[in-house]
């Protein structure tokens, strides 16, 4: 009976005319419009349910492969201006459409092209026990910041690149609770009082993507997808190997945000993360040569939890 009701509910949603609102209005992070049903809500999102290179994933230390061909990442030093928005699904910073000379680019690492930083997303939970999309050895983090860039060598903008081969790069910064926080992370969430409700926006100036990154050259990379509809499998993910830190007060401020407009706030904007997806034989490559770094007991994401790697790729 429950399954039958659920199916009828999904079919009803599929029959609602698109003219009643954009598809963006119909997906959520729970219930019959949640991640398990994204691919049923809109045929163009079918990869969300049937794709084999979906994100996020668990970074399983026992499956990491050292790849000596992975180069250090290069991230531009310029500071960018933009707009931060409460989308009803999360907090998103959108870089201004500036001239090429004023943009920030990500290159090298596993990348064959230059990627222009376009968006920064913030995912977080209702408690410190969960909130991140990517996990490490099955362990979740209270939050995750994702930096998205599009392949500017081949495509004109992120809208074009998102459905194309090698179109997007995603940098995942896992967030731990700490006494102090990165200045750029403080800047990123400094306007929360201005974006309490869906649709509200605030200007954010002089964000340094390079200084937002944790102090490490090490990362894990894999081929995956967007973590929201339509789950396009065009993303090269880079999961940085050291966390950023956020205070409990800052997490509390994030949890005051609402999913709806001021007239109809709905529920708190929390737990906006997609569960981890199956790897389907994909590789988790890393630039950490564990054989050379054993004496440093490094890197680590959690106290008393250290990575181990399989033999390197040839």
pLDDT under 50: residue ranges of the chain: 1-21, 295-299, 302-314
Each residue of 163-181: pLDDT tens digit? 999 999 999 999 999 998 9
Regarding the domain with residue range 57-306, which homologous superfamily does it belong to in the CATH classification?
Alpha carbonic anhydrase (3.10.200.10)
pLDDT recorded at residue 39: 95
Active site residue ranges: 155
Taking the model in full, what pTM does it have?
Answer: 0.88
pLDDT for the residue numbered 293: 53
pLDDT of residue 23: 66
Compute, in degrees rounded to 10, the torsion defined by CA atoms 100, 101, 103, 108.
90
| pLDDT of 24 | 73
Predicted confidence at residue 7, as pLDDT, reads: 38
What integer pLDDT is reported at residue 16 of this predicted model?
38
Domain locations in the chain as residue ranges: 1-50, 57-306
**CA–CA dist 23, 91 (Å, integer):** 18
């Amino acid at each position: 009976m429950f399954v039958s009701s659920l199916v009828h509910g999904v079919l009803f949603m599929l029959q609602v005319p698109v003219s009643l609102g954009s598809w963006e209005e119909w997906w959520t992070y729970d219930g019959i419009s949640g991640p398990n049903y994204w691919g049923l809500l809109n045929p163009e999102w079918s990869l969300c349910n049937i794709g084999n290179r979906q994100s996020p994933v668990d970074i399983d230390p026992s499956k990491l492969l050292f790849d000596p061909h992975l180069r250090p990442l290069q991230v531009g030093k310029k500071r960018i201006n933009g707009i931060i928005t409460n989308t009803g699904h999360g907090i998103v910073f959108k870089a201004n459409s500036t001239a090429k000379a004023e943009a920030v680019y990500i290159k090298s690492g596993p990348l064959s092209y230059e990627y222009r930083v376009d968006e920064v997303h913030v995912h977080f939970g209702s408690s410190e026990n969960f909130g991140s999309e990517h996990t490490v050895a099955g362990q979740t983090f209270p939050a995750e910041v994702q930096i998205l860039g599009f392949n500017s060598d081949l495509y004109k903008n992120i809208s074009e690149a998102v459905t194309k081969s090698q179109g997007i790069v995603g940098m995942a910064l896992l967030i731990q609770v700490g006494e102090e926080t990165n200045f750029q992370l403080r800047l990123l969430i400094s306007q929360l009082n201005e974006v309490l409700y869906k649709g509200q926006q605030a200007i954010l100036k002089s964000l340094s993507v390079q200084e937002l990154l944790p102090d490490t050259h090490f990362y894990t990379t894999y081929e995956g997808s967007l973590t929201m509809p339509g789950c396009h499998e065009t993303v090269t993910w880079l999961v940085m190997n050291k966390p950023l830190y956020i205070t409990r007060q800052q997490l509390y401020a994030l949890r005051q945000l609402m999913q709806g407009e001021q007239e109809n706030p709905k529920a708190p904007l929390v737990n906006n993360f997609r569960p981890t997806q199956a790897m389907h034989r994909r590789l988790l490559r890393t630039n950490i040569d564990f054989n050379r770094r054993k004496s440093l007991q490094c890197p680590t994401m959690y106290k008393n939890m250290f990575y181990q790697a399989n033999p390197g790729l040839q």
